[in-house]
Structure 1
Amino acid sequence: MTAHRLSELLQLEPYQAYSYSYPHKSAYRPITQPPPLADAWASEPRDALFLYLHVPFCSYRCGFCNLFAMARPAPAQVEAYLAQMEKQLRVTADALGEHRFVRFALGGGTPTYLDAPQLQRLFDFVQRHANIDLHSIPAGIEVSPETVDAAKMKICRDAGIDRVSMGIQSFSDAEVRSLVRPQQRAVVEEAITQIRAAGIPTLNLDLIYGIAGQTVASFLSSIDSALAFQPEELYLYPLYVRPHTGLDRIGAKEGGKRSFVIHPESVDNRLALYEAGRERLLAAGYVQVSMRMFRAANAPDSGGPAYCCQSDGMVGIGCGARSYTSGLHYSSEYGVSRRSVADILAHYLERDEASFASIDYGVRLDEDERRRRFVIQSLLAQPGLDLAQYRERFGTECFDDLPQLDQLFEQGLATREDALVALNDTGLARADTIGPWLISAGVAERMRDYQLD
C-alpha cells in the first residue's frame, strides 16, 4: 500500500483492512533454521510480559469469523488440547528462565466453550507453570452468550479475571441471523446478568455495523440496548467478509464476490453507521480510545504493573496464538476453513516437547519493520504517536524515517502538539485505510502471496 499516496487511497472505500497486529499473520512463513526458544528470548526484557492463551473451540462458527477457530470439536480433542497447552506452557516457561507476566488474556474461539472443570484445570496449570499473579494484574477472558453460566463466571472471578469481553454483534434477531449466528436476545441478557452477578469489574460488549439490512436506526437501537447494561467498554466493529468465512461461502453460492473487493466509491453505509454510533456513545459519556474502542468515564483503571505493547513481549500458548519478541514474531500456521484449521490443530496435538522448544514458523522484523510497527500501533489509538518515545527507542527522527506521515497533515487527518501526533476524528474514521497505507512493500508482498486455505 505504501506505493500509493494517501490522497489516492482516501478516494476508495474506507474499510480496507483492520491493522490489529503488524505484521499480519499472513506474512509469516516456515523458518528454515528454527532458533531455540530460549535463544530467541535470551536478550529480551522478560520482567513485563503478556501471557495469551488461545482456545480455538466454539459452539458454532459465526458467518463473519476468520479467526483460528473450530466449532463443536470432539470431546476427546478438547481434553487432548488442554494437555498439549499445559505441555507448551511448561516448555515455554522453562525457556524463558527468570520472567514475570503482567498482563493475561484468554481468547479464542470461545474459552468458555470449556466446561467448568476444564476451565479450572486451565487456570490451575497457568498458576503452576508461569510466574504470574492473576489477582494483581489486568486479566481478561472472551466469552459468547450461550457459554456463560454462574459456575464458570465464579471460577473466572476466583482465578483473578477482572474483564469479560462478549460478542453480541447485534440485539436484533434478524441481523444476528444475517451473520449466521444462532443467538437469542434472552440468552444475551441472561449472560450479562451472570457476568455482573460474579462481580467482574469490567464488561466489554462487541457490536458489528454493516450487517445486511441494518440501518442507522437499528444500529442505534442495538447500541441503546447495550448501554442499558452500562458496560465499561464497547467495541464497534465494521463487518468484513473475508475468504473462506461462512458469509463468503454464502456469497459465492449466490453468485456474489469471493472476497472483499476494493471499490472506487462507497458502496455501503458503514461509514454512516460508524459516525452515528460514535456520536451516540460520546453523548453517553464514553471516551473514544481507537476507531473501534469506547470506554465509559467510570470504567476502572486497569492497574497492575506497567506494560507497553510497543516494547514489551507477548507469549502466546495454544494453536493459533501469536508470540512477539522485538525482532521475531511467531505462531502456528494460519488457516480459516474448517479443513485447514483441523489439519493445523492435528499437527499441534502431535507435537512433542522438543518441538515446542524451538520456533519454526513466523516472521523476522528488521529495524524498518520495528519502526513501522511502533508507528502503526501508536498512531491508530489514543493518545497517539509520541515522537520523543520513538526517538528514545530508535535513535532517529520518526518523520525522517517515515516521511509519508506528512501526508496525514496534508489530508487533515492528524494534529501535532509538541511531541504527540494524534489522529483527529476524521483520521480515526479512516483508520482502516491509514493502517494498510503504512504497511511496508515487503510485508504487503508477503501478504499478497500467502495462500489462505
Structure 2
Amino acid sequence: MSTPASRPVTAPATALSGPGSPRPYQSYVYAYPHKTAYRPLEDRPALRALWAREPKDALSLYLHIPFCEVRCGFCNLFTRIGAPDELTGRYLDALDRQAVAVREALGDGTPVRFAAAAFGGGTPTFLTAAELERLCDIAEKRMGADLTAVPLSVETSPATATADRLAVLAERGTTRVSIGVQSFVDAEARAAVRPQRRADVEAALGRIREAGIPVLNIDLIYGIDGQTERTWLSSLDAALGWEPEELYLYPLYVRPLTGLGRLGAAGDAAWDEQRLRLYRAGRDHLLARGYEQVSMRMFRRRGAPPSASDDHACQTDGMIGLGCGARSYTSALHYSFDYAVDMGQIRRIIDDFTTTEDFSRAEVGRRVDEDEARRRHLLQSLLQAEGMDVAGYRERFGVVPAGHFSAELERFAARGWLDTAAAPGRLRLSPEGLAHSDALGPELFSPAVRAAMASYELK
C-alpha cells in the first residue's frame, strides 16, 4: 500500500458528523477522475492519435505488477494472490508487447523523455530477481526510460524484500523503496488481516538499508480495531528507529469486496473520531521529530534527498501506464483496462491481458474536458501542504480558482479549512483543512463524475 497511482477510492459518502460538517473520511483522492468513473470507449481510439499533439518531454512512466503473496483485509488494489503456471512470465511477455506498441504510438516527431518512473502493484518484488531485471529492461530498452538518471520508486513487502531482489533494484537505479508495514504491533497487523511478524518486518527493513537505496518510505495505518494512541505512537517510534526519509500515514478504510468488508466491518462517527485523534497524534509526533508534512498522508524528513522529479507536474504532464491495472493520462483522455476488486474478476482481467496481442488502442477510460481539467488541477494542488500557486492556475485557465469554484472555496473557508496566513498568491489548506482532505477532495468532484461513480457496478 504505497503508490498513489494504484490505490482506488470509493464514491463520496453523504452522511454528516455534525450540522454542516461532512464526515472526515469519505475517499482518498489520489487521482481524478477515479477509475470507477471510467467506461468502455466505444471508438477505441488509437494511441498514436491520442498522443500525437501531446507534450512528451516530461512524462511519468508507471509499470504495474498485479501479484501479491497475500491480500490484506483492507486492500482493494488490482492484484491477485500468487501466480500459478508461470503466469508472471506470461504477464511480462504481454507487458513487453504493450511497451513496444506504446512506444511506437508515441512516435519520434517530438522528443520523448521520461522524467520519473515507478513500479507498483500489487507487489513488484513478488517477481524474482531475474524477472525484475526483465522489468527494468522493458522500461529502458522498450520505452527508452533511463532508470539511472530519473527518480525510480518501487513498492515492496516484508516477505518479498529479499537481498537478491533489492540488489537488482539498487543496481538498476532505484532511488526510493516503499514498504507497507501498516503496524509494528503483531496483534494490529492480524486485526487488519495482514499476516506478518514484527521480526520479519525489521529484518526486511535491515535489508533495504543494507542495499543502499537513498529513500526509504514506510507505510503505516491508523484506525485499526483495538489500536490506541499508545500503540499507534509505538508503531511510529519503531518506524522512526530506521530513520526513514519518508513516512505515509493512512487512515484505515473498509471497502466493499475486501476482506474486512466481507467481515461486515463498518464505519461510524466514533470511528471517525478515533481516526482523527490518531491522525493528529501521529502528525504532531512526526513534526516534533524533524519531519515536514507534504500532504495529509505524506511526511518527509528534513534534509532527506528528493524522491520525486522536479520537472514533472502531475497537474499538466502526461503519464504512461503499462500493465493491466495501470492508467495513462493525456490532456483529453484518461485510460486504462477494466477494473475490479473481486478476485475472480481480477484473474479474468489478468488472463485476458496476457493473451492480448494488439495494444495499440485505448479500451476503457474517461474523457477530460475543460471543467474536469480545472477540477483535477485544483484537487492535485490544493491537497498538497504547499498549496497552489494562483498565478499558475490563472495562466492555464484564464481566471483565478475562485472564478470557477467560488462556492466551494467559500464553504472551505467557512469551515476553517483554508490557511488565512498563506502568502499572497498562494491558496493553501490550514492544518485542519489537511486533516479533512478526504472530505474536501470529493466536494470538488463534478456532478458527472459523481454520477458515474455512483452507477459503477462493483465487481
Q: TM bucket by the smaller chain?
A: over 0.9
Tell me, in whole angstroms, the C-alpha distance in 1 between the residues paired with 2:146 and 2:244: 25
Matched, 1:294 2:293: no
Query: What is the aligned partner in structure 1 of residue 409 from structure 2?
Result: 405
DSSP-derived class of the 1:46 partner:
coil
TM-score (norm 2): 0.93
408, 431, 435: which one aligns with 1:429? 435
Alignment of 1:177-326 (within 5 A): 177-251=190-264, 257=266, 263=268, 268-302=273-307, 306-326=311-331
Q: What one-letter code is carried by the residue in structure 1 that aligns with 2:412? A: L
* Cα offset, 1:298, TM superposition: 2.2
Matched, 1:380 2:383: yes
Tell me, in whole angstroms, the C-alpha distance in 2 between the residues paired with 1:165 and 1:205: 6
* Cα offset, 1:130, TM superposition: 1.5
Residue segments in structure 2 that go unaligned for 5+ positions in a row: 1-10
Alignment of 1:32-71 (within 5 A): 32-71=42-81
Alignment of 1:322-341 (within 5 A): 322-341=327-346
DSSP-derived class of the 2:86 partner:
helix
Tell me, in whole angstroms, the C-alpha distance in 2 between the residues paired with 1:362 and 1:183: 36
Q: What one-letter code is carried by the residue in structure 1 that aligns with 2:425? A: A
Matched, 1:369 2:379: no
146, 161, 167: which one aligns with 1:154? 167
* Cα offset, 1:348, TM superposition: 1.1
Tell me, in whole angstroms, the C-alpha distance in 2 between the residues paired with 1:179 and 1:10: 32
169, 172, 176: which one aligns with 1:163? 176
Matched, 1:349 2:359: no
Tell me, in whole angstroms, the C-alpha distance in 1 between the residues paired with 2:46 and 2:137: 27
Asked if 2 retains the 8 angstrom alpha-carbon contact of 1:145 and 1:188, the reply is yes
Tell me, in whole angstroms, the C-alpha distance in 2 between the residues paired with 1:241 and 1:169: 15
Q: What one-letter code is carried by the residue in structure 2 that aligns with 1:387? A: V
Matched, 1:414 2:427: no
* Cα offset, 1:352, TM superposition: 1.1
Asked if 1 retains the 8 angstrom alpha-carbon contact of 2:13 and 2:26, the reply is no
* Cα offset, 1:397, TM superposition: 2.5
Q: What one-letter code is carried by the residue in structure 1 that aligns with 2:186? A: D
Change in CA separation of 1:312 and 1:218 when aligned onto 2, cut-off 3 Å: same
Q: What one-letter code is carried by the residue in structure 2 that aligns with 1:236? A: L
Shifted more, 299-308 versus 44-53: the winner is 299-308
Tell me, in whole angstroms, the C-alpha distance in 1 between the residues paired with 2:22 and 2:243: 36
Deviations 1:271-315 (A, max 9, x none): 000010001000101000000000000210347561100010000
Tell me, in whole angstroms, the C-alpha distance in 2 between the residues paired with 1:140 and 1:337: 27
DSSP-derived class of the 1:54 partner:
strand
Structure 1 segments (4+ residues) deviating >6 Å = 1-9
Deviations 1:89-119 (A, max 9, x none): 1110110113111100000000000011111
Deviations 1:329-362 (A, max 9, x none): 0001110010110111122112112xx1011210
* Cα offset, 1:3, TM superposition: 12
Change in CA separation of 1:280 and 1:340 when aligned onto 2, cut-off 3 Å: same
Tell me, in whole angstroms, the C-alpha distance in 2 between the residues paired with 1:97 and 1:105: 22
Change in CA separation of 1:440 and 1:133 when aligned onto 2, cut-off 3 Å: same
Asked if 1 retains the 8 angstrom alpha-carbon contact of 2:114 and 2:145, the reply is yes
Deviations 1:352-409 (A, max 9, x none): 12xx101121000110000000000000002102111001111223211111212222
Tell me, in whole angstroms, the C-alpha distance in 2 between the residues paired with 1:3 and 1:213: 24
Shifted more, 305-314 versus 214-223: the winner is 305-314
How many aligned residue pairs are there?
A: 443
* Cα offset, 1:264, TM superposition: 6.3
Asked if 2 retains the 8 angstrom alpha-carbon contact of 1:10 and 1:433, the reply is no
Shifted more, 359-368 versus 405-414: the winner is 405-414
DSSP-derived class of the 2:148 partner:
helix
Matched, 1:18 2:22: no
Alignment of 1:136-151 (within 5 A): 136-151=149-164
Asked if 2 retains the 8 angstrom alpha-carbon contact of 1:66 and 1:242, the reply is yes
Q: What one-letter code is carried by the residue in structure 2 that aligns with 1:38? A: R
Q: What one-letter code is carried by the residue in structure 2 that aligns with 1:26? A: T
Query: What is the aligned partner in structure 2 of residue 390 from structure 1?
Result: 393
- What root-mean-square deviation, in Å, do the aligned CA atoms of Structure 1 and Structure 2 show? 1.9
Change in CA separation of 1:397 and 1:349 when aligned onto 2, cut-off 3 Å: same
Residue segments in structure 1 that go unaligned for 5+ positions in a row: none
DSSP-derived class of the 2:279 partner:
helix
TM-score (norm 1): 0.94
Deviations 1:189-212 (A, max 9, x none): 111111111110000000000000
Tell me, in whole angstroms, the C-alpha distance in 2 between the residues paired with 1:443 and 1:106: 28
**Percent of aligned pairs sharing the same letter:** 48
DSSP-derived class of the 1:44 partner:
coil
Q: What one-letter code is carried by the residue in structure 1 that aligns with 2:456? A: Y
Change in CA separation of 1:11 and 1:406 when aligned onto 2, cut-off 3 Å: closer
Change in CA separation of 1:443 and 1:28 when aligned onto 2, cut-off 3 Å: same
Shifted more, 398-407 versus 237-246: the winner is 398-407
Q: What one-letter code is carried by the residue in structure 2 that aligns with 1:315? A: I
Asked if 1 retains the 8 angstrom alpha-carbon contact of 2:295 and 2:385, the reply is yes
DSSP-derived class of the 1:362 partner:
strand
Asked if 2 retains the 8 angstrom alpha-carbon contact of 1:52 and 1:315, the reply is yes
Change in CA separation of 1:378 and 1:8 when aligned onto 2, cut-off 3 Å: farther
Change in CA separation of 1:411 and 1:305 when aligned onto 2, cut-off 3 Å: closer
